[in-house]
Structure 1
């Protein structure tokens, strides 16, 4: 009992720490990618997996065959996006998920779930476009979230290396954090950190096609999708920008 004859106030129970610290949109997207791959490997037999690739992988050669049979080009309406939900193996999926967690997080916290998903899909399509330009007659197909994730990387680079802006509340005059300004393309390359990150990322992906020539080993890495997706996210992120 205290001096006034009242029981001392009990401390408020501490809030529970969330199990997942990721934004919900990223958790859901990662879960969908994992569920699709799990279903494709556990539920589908080999014939079913072939049909899955036929209908949902991106195959640029369909553009060539469209002149012979227009019906074969119909999947081109959705495969520039749907290919991002298919993966060649668990290692392929896990690498993309790790990269997704790192670079989708700042994007979804800045713009929200809808713009993040839109950038992911637009970047996947941008990666598919460059892949088509370079492999039109090769009869190969494209799968994997790499293009979409590369686009989120390009989008994040536009602001994550910029200084935090501080303003004042219009009524109280108190200082408040406004966030980071979206850098112009020029400013990205003026800032040393964003410039070197961008140049090294682009150079590493541009060198992928030279690896077989230098080592004699083949790599099944769609570097075109990485570069095309990165460019799409890097250039289109401004469409979702809000003034701060």
Structure 2
């Protein structure tokens, strides 16, 4: 039988985008925001955009003498994750997001994926603030949120596939992968290696100026803070008996 609208002998149409809708929408928002900040705003408008939506830890210091400065602290721990410093910065985070947000969105749905993303972004901002409080630097980029989704995905992507037998047909059915406990995470060689490499590489970033005389503009604090937030948060969305 041929489905309506399908030519005999031709395969059905494949979707243009293989990403979950929530991941595609999040990428779209990031692209629109960066395009608008790049092509629409003038220099003064861009400076105001950074001032009001980037995360600036120094606000925590000056808020005591000027309470109005504290107001952006309500949204900037989250809004900074939708902003980027350049197209290369955006494209790297989009690729990273597509890889690790996709399994989380497919396993838990759009709401949990976005919750992990934004809470992890805030956790990364908190860690960034703890190390740069008086420096006057600001934080933009999805790295903290994507790091959180990476940490969440690590809890299950390395686990073995669970295969069950259908009670009526006897057919073997792929059920999925279980969520590893913290102990299981360290027992699994691939997961343990991933976590160790992630921590070591990011912890080494502040040592680069000492070792090589050069520094790179990577918010390693946001990476580490977001990563561990995601590892912890994902368990809240796991259904019993999955």
* Alignment partner, residue 21 of structure 1: 18
Structure 1 residue runs without a partner (length 5+): 1-9
Structure 1 residue 219: Cα displacement: 1.4
How many residues get paired?
235
**1:232 aligned onto 2:226:** no
| Residue of structure 2 aligned with 1:118, choices 77, 96, 115 | 115
Residue 133 of structure 2 aligns with which residue?
A: 136
**Which one has the largest radius of gyration?**
1
SS at match of 2:164: strand
Shift of 1:240: 0.8
**Aligned-partner SS, 2:130:** helix
Deviations 1:100-144 (A, max 9, x none): 011111111111111111110011001001001111111111000
Which aligned pairs between 1:73-112 and structure 2 lie closer than 5 A? Answer: 73-112=70-109
**Partner Cα distance (1:50, 1:86) in 2:** 13
Q: Distance in 2 between matches of 1:230 and 1:120?
A: 10
Matches within 5 A, 1:2-21: 11=8, 14-21=11-18
Structure 2's unaligned 5+ residue stretches are 1-6
Instruction: Name the SS for the 2:173 alignment partner.
Output: strand
Q: Does 1:31 align with 2:28?
A: yes
**1:23 Cα offset (Å):** 1.3
Cα shift at 1:196:
0.3
TM-score (norm 2): 0.94
TM-score (norm: length of structure 1): 0.93
Q: C-alpha offsets along residues 47-85 of structure 1, whole Å, 9 cap, x if unaligned?
A: 001000110000111111111011110100000000001
Q: Secondary structure at the match of 1:207?
A: helix
1:153 to 142, 150, 155: 150
